[in-house]
């Protein structure tokens, strides 16, 4: 099994699916000749031609709008938005058309498209290059929202997203693009969209996280567990919508305590929905309030201050400790 980083794993999934299914194509700004600004689409234009690795003009709504048309015509476009901060320009097309085409046409037309994009902070990038706005998409019925956390699950989930018959927003934690390598099976692999993964079982506290925050969280858990006897159940959410509250709630029912770590701003970030669903189903099992470690409700600062505004290991640790001791 070759070791690779997340960018390579994404690139692999794209290669595999384009090889397997000639209706799959990639499109976006600089995805062709240049191979994408992060090199996620490297090599595709040489291998599959410019008609299937399309360098588009610079227009996000046009990219997604024409991807919708392609999907309607039977293609499976994988559109890259260069940074998620530019994806808000596509909300009109996605909410107004992609998410609704199946409903509107009673199944006559569907939109099996993927919108891929790097999101999140931590790479010292310019303004608009560090936001985590998964809520916009998760609050849009008709879209699925997937966030991988590792090379292996990135490859498997992207494969699943491409094969999915409905529109999928695929948000890639850019901080994790080259952060570490992992073994990725030679054999094609998919994972079910809509399932959280219990990465480590535990009985004292449930920890939910996703994307780049998952690693930070895991590190803290490792530290704490090496220091004291406590058993933490670690969940990687993987799909934001549809949300796998069954897995989370079963865990909370067992542990009675829960901490959620998200990069998104606090108000109406995914953690709010997780808490609401805990409230719906397992409130009476809670022994402490669910704790959110999240971004603040401010405009994400330029990168000089960015680190202070992202969850830190210290903040996660304190949240865990306070929740355990509540």
Partner 1 sequence: MPLKTIGKFSLSYLQVLDDKGKLDENLEPKLSNTELNKLYRAMYLARQLDSRMLKLQRQGRLGTIPVCTGQEACVCGATFALRDSDWFVGSYRELGGRLMRGEPLINPMIYYNGYEEGSFNPVNDRTLPINIILGSQLPHAVGAAYGSRLKGEKENASLVFFGDGSTSEGDFHEAINFAAVWKLPVVFFCQNNQWAISTPRANQTHSESIAQKAISYGIDGIQIDGNDVLAVYKATKDALDRGRAGEGPTLIEAVTYRMGVHTTADDPTRYRKNAEVEEWSKKDPIKRFENYLIEKKAWSARKQKTMEDEIKAEIEQTVKDFENMTDFKPDSPFDYLFETETDDIKALRAEFLNEIGKDADNA
Ligand X SMILES: Cc1ncc(C[n+]2csc(CCOP(=O)(O)OP(=O)(O)O)c2C)c(N)n1
What are the residues binding ligand X (CB under 6 A)?
A: 29, 58, 60, 82, 86
103 lies in the binding site for its own copies (CB under 8 A): yes
Phi/psi zone of residue 60: left (φ > 0), alpha (ψ -120 to 50 degrees), beta?
A: alpha
Q: What are phi and psi of 159, to 5 degrees?
A: -60, -45
Residue of 15, 128, 129, 139 marked catalytic: 129
Q: Is 215 among the residues known to form the active site?
A: no
Which of 90/149 has CB closer to its own copies? 90
Q: Of residues 32, 85, 112, 118, which one binds its own copies by CB under 8 A?
A: 85
Subset of residues 255 to 284 that bind its own copies, contact rule: CB under 8 A: 265, 267-273, 275-276, 278-281, 283-284
271, interface contact from its own copies, partner 1, ligand X, none, CB < 5-8 Å by kind: its own copies
Measured between alpha carbons, how far is 157 from 37 in angstroms, rounded to an integer?
21
Long-range contacts, stretch 193-196, CB < 8 angstroms, 24+ apart: 193/144, 193/146, 193/157, 193/160, 193/161, 193/164, 193/168, 193/239, 194/144, 194/239, 194/242, 194/244, 195/238, 195/239, 195/244, 195/247, 196/235, 196/236, 196/237, 196/238, 196/239, 196/244, 196/247, 196/248
Measured between alpha carbons, how far is 134 from 251 in angstroms, rounded to an integer?
23
CB of 18 to its own copies, least distance (A): 30
139 lies in the binding site for its own copies (CB under 8 A): yes
Alpha helix (H) residue ranges in 55-172: 60-72, 91-93, 101-104, 134-138, 151-163
183, interface contact from ligand X, partner 1, its own copies, none, CB < 5-8 Å by kind: none
CB of 317 to its own copies, least distance (A): 19
Count other C-beta atoms under 10 Å from residue 253's C-beta: 15
Site string for its own copies, 153-192 (x = CB under 8 A): ----------------------------------------
User: Which residues are the active-site residues?
Assistant: 129
State the residues that interact with its own copies by CB under 8 A: 61, 85-86, 88-89, 91-92, 95-96, 99-100, 103-104, 127-128, 133, 135-136, 138-139, 141-142, 241, 243, 265, 267-273, 275-276, 278-281, 283-284, 286, 288-290, 292, 296-299, 301
């Amino acid at each position: 099994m070759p070791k690779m980083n997340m960018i390579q794993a994404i690139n692999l999934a794209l290669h595999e699916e384009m090889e397997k299914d000639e209706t799959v194509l990639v499109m976006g700004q600089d995805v062709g000749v240049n191979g994408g600004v992060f090199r996620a689409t490297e090599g595709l234009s040489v291998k599959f031609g410019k008609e299937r690795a399309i360098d588009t003009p610079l227009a996000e709504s046009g990219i997604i709008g024409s991807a919708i048309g392609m999907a309607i015509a039977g293609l499976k476009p994988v559109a890259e938005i260069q940074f998620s901060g530019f994806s808000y320009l596509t909300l009109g097309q996605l909410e107004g058309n992609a998410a609704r085409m199946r409903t509107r046409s009673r199944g006559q037309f569907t939109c099996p498209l993927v919108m891929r994009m790097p999101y999140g902070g931590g790479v010292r990038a310019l303004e608009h290059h560090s936001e985590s706005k998964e809520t916009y998409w998760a609050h849009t019925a008709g879209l699925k929202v997937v966030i991988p956390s590792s090379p292996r699950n990135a490859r498997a989930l992207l494969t699943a997203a491409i094969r999915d018959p409905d529109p999928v927003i695929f948000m890639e934690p850019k901080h994790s693009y080259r952060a570490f390598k992992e073994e990725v099976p030679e054999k094609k692999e998919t994972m079910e969209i809509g399932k959280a993964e219990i990465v480590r079982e535990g009985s004292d506290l449930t920890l939910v996280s996703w994307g780049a925050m998952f690693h930070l969280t895991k590190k803290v858990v490792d530290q704490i567990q090496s220091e004291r006897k406590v058993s933490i159940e670690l969940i990687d959410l993987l799909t934001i919508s549809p949300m796998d509250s069954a897995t989370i709630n079963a865990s909370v029912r067992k542990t009675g305590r829960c901490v959620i770590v998200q990069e998104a701003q606090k108000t109406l970030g995914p953690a709010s929905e997780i808490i609401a669903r805990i409230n719906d189903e397992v409130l009476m099992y809670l022994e402490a309030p669910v704790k959110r470690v999240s971004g603040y409700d401010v405009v994400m600062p330029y990168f000089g201050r960015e680190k202070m505004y992202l969850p830190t290991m210290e903040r996660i640790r304190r949240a865990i400790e306070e929740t355990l001791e509540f």
